[in-house]
Amino acid sequence: MTILVTGAGGFVGRALCRELRERDFDVRAAVRDAGRAGDLGCDVVCVPDLAARDAWAAALKGVAAIVHLAARVHVMKDTAEDPLAAFRAVNVAGSATLAHAAADAGVKRVVYVSSIKVNGEATDGAKFSERDEPRPLDPYGISKWEAEQVLREIARERGLELVIVRPPLVYGAGVGGNFLRLLKLIRSGVPLPFGAVDNARSLVFVRNLTDVLIACATLQQARGKTFLVSDGHDLSTVDLVSEIARLMRKRAILLPIPARLLRMTGRCLGREDEVERLIGSLLIDSSAVRTQLGWRPPFAVAEGLLQTVEWHASLMH
C-alpha cells in the first residue's frame, strides 16, 4: 500500500514518513522544495504549487491513501496584505485541487489534517468535541474550516473516502514555534510569570498523532469521520513547565503574576494570542476516536515530554 504524505518536510510530516517506513508502508513524500526537504528516506516528489492540478499526476500514481498535511500555517506576525485570502489560496484552493486530482488518479482515501482552531480558540467548562458547531475566529482557522467543507463536497461528488483530524498543539522532537521557545526559556532558568495561572490544555505528542493518522488512513471504520485527537491527559501551564523543568533537571521559578496582568501585557506588546495560548484553557474530548477506532495513544504524556526534552538537549551539544 502506497501512502502519499503532503507537507512531508514539516515537523509532523517528517515524523509520519519515518513511522510509515518503520511499519513497511510504501511512502511517497510531497514537498514544496526538494532542496530544503533533506533526507526523508523515501520517494520524494516536488509540488511547488498545491493549487496546480497538473503538478499532482506523478505524485499520485499508484497511491491508495493520502495524508494531507501541507498548508499555509498560522504565524504570529502575518505580513500578507490579506491574510485570509493568502490562507484560502493554499488551504482551501490547494486542498480542493489535490482532492480532484486524487479522484482522477483513483486514490481511495484522503486524511485531511485540519486544526482544533476550527472548533474555536478556547474552552470554558465543556470540552471541544466533534459535535460542536465550528467557531473559527482567525484567518487560519477559518481557512481550515472552509477546506473541510470543500473536501466533504468533493468527496461526495467524486467518491473519495474522507477522514478529518483536528489536533491541538503538537509537541515532540523537531517541534518549533511557541513550544520550542518555552523549552529554551525553561532551560535558561529565567523566572516565568505563570505561577498564578489556573488553566488546562489538551496537547498531542507527535508520535501519538502519527499513530492515529495511520489508523485513519487504513481502518475501514474511519471512513467519512471527523476526529479530535489528544494525548488524553490534560496539563496546566504550571504542570507543563514544572514537568519539563524536572526532566531538564532545572528548577522552575514561577512568579505569581495575575492572569489579567499577563493579558494586558500581551495586548500592549501585540502578542495577545500568544499569551492566551499559555494562560487560557483549551480542552478536547477525544473519546470518539478511541471508541470508534479502538485507538489508544501509544505514548503517555510523560514519555512524550521526555523524548522532546532529550531531543532539545541534543541540540545543545
Burial of residue 176, with CB atoms counted within 10 A of its CB: 0-12 exposed, 13-18 middle, 19 or more buried: exposed
User: Is residue 177 domain-resident?
Assistant: no
Number of domains in the chain: 1
Give yes or no for residue 114 having a pLDDT over 60.
yes
With beta carbons less than 8 A apart as the criterion, state whether 238 and 281 touch: no
- pLDDT tens digits for range 137-190: 999 999 999 999 999 999 999 999 999 999 999 999 999 988 999 999 999 999
Predicted local confidence at residue 167, as pLDDT: 98
**Which set of grid coordinates corresponds to residue 253?**
521559578
Dist CA 276 CA 122 (whole Å):
9
User: Is residue 272 domain-resident?
Assistant: no
Active site residue 171: no
- pLDDT tens digits for range 226-268: 999 999 999 999 999 999 999 999 999 999 999 899 999 888 8
User: Is residue 305 domain-resident?
Assistant: no
Give yes or no for residue 274 having a pLDDT over 90.
no
User: Is residue 196 domain-resident?
Assistant: no
The whole-model pTM stands at: 0.94
Dist CA 278 CA 262 (whole Å):
10
Dist CA 239 CA 115 (whole Å):
24
Give yes or no for residue 27 having a pLDDT over 90.
yes
**For the chain, how far is it from start to end, CA to CA, in angstroms?**
39
- pLDDT tens digits for range 40-54: 878 888 888 888 878
Give yes or no for residue 107 having a pLDDT over 60.
yes
User: Is residue 258 domain-resident?
Assistant: no
- pLDDT tens digits for range 207-235: 999 999 999 999 999 999 999 999 999 99
User: Is residue 162 domain-resident?
Assistant: yes
Predicted local confidence at residue 277, as pLDDT: 86
Residues spanned by the domain of 225: 2-172+203-232+284-298
Farthest-apart Cα atoms in the chain, separation: 58
70 to each of 73, 122, 185, 301, how far by Cα in Å? Answer: 9, 25, 29, 26
Catalytic one among 56, 112, 140, 205? 140
User: Is residue 276 domain-resident?
Assistant: no
Q: What's the CATH code of the domain at 30?
A: 3.40.50.720
User: Is residue 79 domain-resident?
Assistant: yes
